[in-house]
Amino acid sequence: MPLPVALSLIDVTVRYGERVALAGVSLEVRRGEIVGLLGPNGSGKSSTLAVAAGILEPASGTVQIEGRSRASDPRGFAFRVGLVPQEPAIYEEFTAYENLTFFGELYGLSGSDLRRRVVRTLARVQLTERAHDRVGSFSGGMKQRLNLAIALLHDPPVLLLDEPTAALDPASRDSLFADLARFRDDGHAILLTTHHLDEAEGGCDRVAVLEGGRLIACGGPAELLRPRPADRAILYGHLRTRPPKFLEKALRRRLGSHVELEITGRRLRLAAASNEELGYALAALLADGVELEAYRTPAGALERALRADTTARGSSP
């Protein structure tokens, strides 16, 4: 049985003035899975997290957490999401216990319930023994654990992490992903951004590839991050408008069973036995009035993501 959907972005567009940061992005994250957002700088990863957290209002489209939108239920929406920013949002002069107590009170928690949650959450991130030490004495990995504890304190179904390993050493990075795997197994839905291909492949159940504010591919790491079979040609596209259901059915009949056509929101996936056959299928779609704003093969997009990852590694101190 499929796991329940916790987070839904439906045809979301985000603008900063005249600049379009996200263009019609549709994405679901289910309880019990980790989804990684992969893409070069400026592709829309942080904007996706910000709109999912309710920090940004989309220009169009809908964001829902367990069926609740920020517009219809602002408090219920906020209480169902935990955001871990890239820079730790903690007070170094406080102890770990004091930090969690402070942020818990901001969530409206108090009394014995707050104390119980603080103790339990410190144990979940393995900071019990350092609960009453000042955070200024913590290592980078421990500060990130406390950052994660703050997001977990109110036990939200959705966890959002913005490049959580950016300042971590390899051991702390491995430890963080081990923690995230445990939280996934506890039933949380986790969406994180990264530009490291090895993190996406080794730590995520699914990977969503962003480029230029568009979601150009989404699937399992084995499907997206490893070479595709030579006998299968695949094309991802972004539709100007989604065709009506009756036209989708007619298109599938016309293309035949040897060509795969998938339409999710305004995203299109087309697969055929060869590039030539793929070209004929694409021409048939265009002839039938399907309007594509952009399309590309996944290999080209992932090569660009890989180049961005290599550049980022090479420029790191």
Region 124-129 average pLDDT: 95
Region 83-95 average pLDDT: 91
Q: Which of 133-137, 168-172, 305-309 is the least confident region?
A: 305-309
Q: Boundaries of CATH 3.40.50.300 in the chain?
A: 5-219
Does residue 33 contact residue 190 with C-beta atoms inside 8 Å? yes
Tell which wins on pLDDT, 303 or 29. 29
Look up the CATH number of domain 229-301.
Answer: 3.30.70.980
Look up the CATH number of domain 5-219.
Answer: 3.40.50.300
Region 54-58 average pLDDT: 92
Q: Boundaries of CATH 3.30.70.980 in the chain?
A: 229-301
* H-helix segments, the chain: 45-53, 74-79, 96-106, 111-124, 140-152, 170-185, 197-203, 221-224, 245-255, 275-287, 298-315
Rounded alpha-carbon distances, angstroms, from residue 126 to 130, 146, 193, 225, 230:
9, 9, 23, 32, 46
Q: Which of 13-22, 295-304, 308-317: highest mean pLDDT?
A: 13-22
Is the pLDDT reported for residue 228 higher than 60? no
Percent of the chain with pLDDT over 90: 49
Number of other CB atoms surrounding residue 95 within 10 Å? 18
In the predicted model, what is the mean pLDDT of the chain? Answer: 85
For residue 281, the model assigns a pLDDT of 84
**Backbone phi and psi for residue 71, each to the nearest 5 degrees, phi listed first:** -65, -40
Give me 222's structure tokens. Answer: 């084995």
Percent of the chain with pLDDT over 70: 89
What pTM was estimated for this model as a whole?
A: 0.74
